[in-house]
């Protein structure tokens, strides 16, 4: 193996990260649906030619895809080994969540990259398509009991052979979506991103040679492992446990436990999820690839300086019990995977907080509140407004939590209301911070938000909500207070109503002029409330973030004696 000096390694790391970043940007600019174009629910990367391990990932995509996409590439490697006909210009496509992780809305494209006639690595693209069939527009079906009720299931198949696209596959895809124009636009965007990746890799290898780049990729993995081991040795040895709950599975109104035992011994860590609830009927199950990837995301938050490379996970063992909702088997529904992985991150943070509270933040709001409002326009054309919504992040040793942030599983952004109102027949009556929703503490939790969305279309619409944190509040750490819980209501002729299952409901009929209202959770607080500076409390009250009465309850009345 070619020796490589540290300066060259650093330069090549930046060059390869830039390739993945350019692929991200290409898709974001070309995608038709705002979930990719505006919210950046997509990702690109380079993957090992034999193991599928993540080598490099773009910085603008979703972190959850770092680990998940390696499983997707492994699935293609296994498929190609069986078929025995992998060639330059081939492209595989699939969305099967039990093989590639996450859920069926995430369409994966995997392309082998050849150099001098030999397989060098894989390039991959994943993006959240707006609609992939199924019973519910937008595919977040809170009542699903099997994947077939969520979306069209596509196993790994060749979309292209030696650069020639198979139109039959495209025809099947477009026949299984309510929004074929959007799907075609997103597909072309992903194909364009892969083409760019090949072009940039050709340029890189022409400049440095295949041996040097291969050496750099191996060195980057080894360096990531060494950095992870060094970080672990700075933490105390021990075992810490934490658990939290999901409201329900959307079918049965029973809480579901997510439990972790975190153990550190020297430069190794074990994350043991034994004790988590069994596989359930509803769509909050997740497949094993998603669970492993989520463990990586949680660890990446705890050690933010680490690179996005599979080497980080070499010193970490993830134990997932068979038969649990964290290792669901096909055809268990997985559409609400986001809610479960958010709870996984919460329990990992809560466990780490017992060993090193300065390294983590209190629980964030813990739900993407996947809300779909869909119907038909007066000319008969279908429309589907699917989006996710923000909430408060947890306080930390350094500061208050972020107000109205996005979920910690992503670097995505919340689509602006101007974009949503321009694209769909809706009007936001309200888009504001939610006072008193952040948990108390020396550093307060961030505030959730209030959204009220009115239907303007004369034909009305139907709404579907897939949320969480309606019964179990985001937890504070280091004695901080809990954030406010999620609250969803919808308007009918006789007034406002709440879902029987609190955070999940399908088939909400809305007439023109009626609305839905989301009051999202705040983040947990960090540290004792009595340690919060009175001036900071007074400032919160003056800005309307905390009401005077709530400030008295949480912090006493000393704030009334100071000037903010």
Instruction: Give the integer Cα–Cα distance in Å for 531 and 401.
Output: 16
Report, as an integer, the average pLDDT of 57-85: 86
Report, as an integer, the average pLDDT of 197-208: 97
Q: Residue 322 — very low, low, confident or very high, per pLDDT cuts 50/70/90?
A: very high
Cβ burial, residue 428 (10 Å; 0-12/13-18/19+): middle
Supply the pTM of this predicted model.
Answer: 0.92
* More confidently predicted of 335 and 408: 335
User: For 325-367, what is each residue's pLDDT tens digit?
Assistant: 999 999 999 999 999 999 999 999 999 999 999 999 999 999 9
CA max distance for the chain: 77
**Range from 162-171, 323-332, 366-375, 403-412 carrying the lowest mean pLDDT:** 403-412
pLDDT beyond 80 at 128:
yes
Contact 165, 195 (CB under 8 A): no
- Average confidence score pLDDT of the chain: 94
Tokens of 113: 């990259």
- Predicted pLDDT at 1: 56
Contact 374, 138 (CB under 8 A): yes
Place of tokens 């500061």: 399
Q: What are phi and psi of 40, to 5 degrees?
A: 60, 40
Q: What are phi and psi of 164, to 5 degrees?
A: -95, 115
Please give the sequence-ordered ranges of beta strands (E in DSSP) within 98-191, or none if there are none.
Answer: 106-115, 118-128, 157-161, 164-165
pLDDT beyond 80 at 67:
no
User: For 490-538, what is each residue's pLDDT tens digit?
Assistant: 999 999 999 999 999 999 999 999 999 999 999 999 999 999 999 999 9
For 405, which DSSP code? B
User: For 291-319, what is each residue's pLDDT tens digit?
Assistant: 998 998 899 889 988 887 888 889 999 99
- Enumerate residues 6+ apart whose C-beta is below 8 A from 322: none
pLDDT beyond 80 at 413:
no
User: For 176-185, what is each residue's pLDDT tens digit?
Assistant: 999 999 999 9
- Predicted pLDDT at 352: 96
Place of tokens 């930390």: 396
Neighbours of 83 (CB within 10 A): 11
For 246, which DSSP code? E
Going from N- to C-terminal start, the domains of the chain cover 6-226, 361-532
- The percentage of the chain sitting over the pLDDT mark of 70, rounded to a whole number, equals 99
Number of H helices, E strands in the chain: 12, 20
pLDDT beyond 90 at 404:
yes
Instruction: Give the integer Cα–Cα distance in Å for 336 and 134.
Output: 14
pLDDT beyond 90 at 564:
no
Q: Is 562 helix (H, G, I), strand (E, B) or coil?
A: coil
- Predicted pLDDT at 63: 72
- Predicted pLDDT at 307: 82
Contact 417, 465 (CB under 8 A): no
- Predicted pLDDT at 147: 94
Query: Could you write out the three-class secondary structure of 305-333?
Result: CCCCCHHHHCCEEEECCCCECCCCCCCCC
pLDDT beyond 80 at 214:
yes
- Predicted pLDDT at 116: 94
Q: Is 71 helix (H, G, I), strand (E, B) or coil?
A: helix
- Predicted pLDDT at 300: 86
Phi-psi region of 401 (alpha: psi -120 to 50; beta: other; left: phi over 0): beta
Containing 344, the helix (H) or strand (E) segment is: helix 337-355
User: For 499-511, what is each residue's pLDDT tens digit?
Assistant: 999 999 999 999 9
- Predicted pLDDT at 551: 97
Instruction: Give the integer Cα–Cα distance in Å for 144 and 335.
Output: 8
- Predicted pLDDT at 281: 96
- Predicted pLDDT at 386: 87
């Amino acid at each position: 193996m070619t020796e490589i000096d540290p300066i060259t390694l650093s330069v090549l790391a930046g060059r390869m990260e830039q390739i993945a970043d350019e692929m991200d940007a290409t898709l974001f600019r070309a995608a038709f649906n705002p979930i990719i174009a505006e919210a950046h629910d997509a990702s690109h990367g380079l993957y090992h030619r034999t193991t599928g391990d993540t080598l490099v990932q773009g910085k603008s995509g979703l972190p959850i895809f770092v680990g998940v996409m390696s499983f997707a590439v492994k699935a293609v490697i296994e498929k190609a080994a069986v078929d025995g006909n992998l060639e330059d210009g081939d492209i595989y496509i699939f969305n099967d969540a039990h093989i590639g992780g996450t859920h069926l809305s995430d369409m994966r494209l995997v392309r082998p990259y050849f150099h001098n006639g030999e397989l060098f690595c894989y390039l991959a693209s994943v993006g959240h398509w707006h609609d992939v069939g199924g019973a519910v527009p937008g595919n977040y079906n809170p009542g699903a009991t099997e994947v077939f009720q969520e979306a069209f299931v596509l196993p790994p198949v060749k979309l292209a052979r030696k650069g020639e696209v198979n139109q039959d596959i495209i025809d099947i895809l477009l026949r299984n979506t309510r929004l074929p124009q959007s799907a075609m636009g997103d597909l072309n965007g992903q194909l364009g991103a892969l083409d760019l990746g090949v072009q940039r890799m050709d340029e890189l290898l022409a400049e440095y040679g295949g041996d040097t780049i291969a050496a750099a990729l191996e060195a980057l993995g080894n360096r990531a492992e060494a950095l992870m081991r060094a970080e672990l040795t700075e933490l105390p040895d021990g075992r810490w446990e934490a658990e939290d709950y999901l409201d329900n599975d959307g079918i049965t109104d029973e809480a579901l436990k997510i439990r972790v035992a975190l153990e550190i011994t020297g430069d190794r860590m074990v994350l043991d999820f034994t004790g988590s609830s069994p596989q359930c009927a509803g769509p909050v199950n997740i497949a094993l690839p998603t669970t492993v990837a989520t463990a990586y995301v949680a660890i990446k938050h705890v050690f933010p300086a680490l690179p996005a490379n599979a080497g980080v996970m070499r010193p970490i063992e993830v134990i997932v019990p068979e038969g649990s909702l964290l290792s669901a088997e096909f055809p268990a529904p997985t559409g609400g995977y986001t809610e479960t992985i958010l709870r996984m991150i919460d329990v990992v943070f809560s466990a780490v907080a017992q060993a090193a509270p300065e390294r983590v933040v209190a629980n964030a709001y813990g739900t993407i509140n996947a809300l779909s409002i869909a119907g038909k326009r007066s000319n008969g054309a279908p429309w589907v407004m699917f989006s996710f919504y923000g909430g408060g992040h947890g306080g930390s040793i350094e500061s208050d939590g972020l107000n109205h942030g996005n979920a910690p599983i992503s670097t995505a952004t919340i689509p602006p209301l101007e974009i949503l109102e321009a694209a769909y027949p809706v009007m936001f009556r309200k888009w504001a911070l939610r006072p008193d929703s952040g948990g108390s503490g020396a550093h307060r939790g961030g505030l959730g938000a209030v959204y009220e969305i009115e239907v303007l279309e004369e034909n009305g619409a139907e709404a579907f909500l897939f949320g969480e944190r309606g019964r179990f509040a985001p937890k504070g750490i280091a004695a901080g207070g809990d954030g406010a819980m999620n609250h969803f209501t919808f308007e009918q002729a006789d007034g406002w109503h709440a879902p029987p299952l609190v955070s999940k409901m399908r088939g909400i009929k809305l007439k023109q002029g009626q609305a839905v209202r989301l009051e999202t959770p705040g983040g947990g607080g960090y540290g004792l409330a009595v340690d919060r500076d009175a001036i900071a409390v007074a400032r919160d009250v003056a800005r309307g973030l905390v009401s005077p009465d709530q400030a008295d309850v949480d912090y006493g009345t000393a704030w009334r004696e100071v000037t903010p």
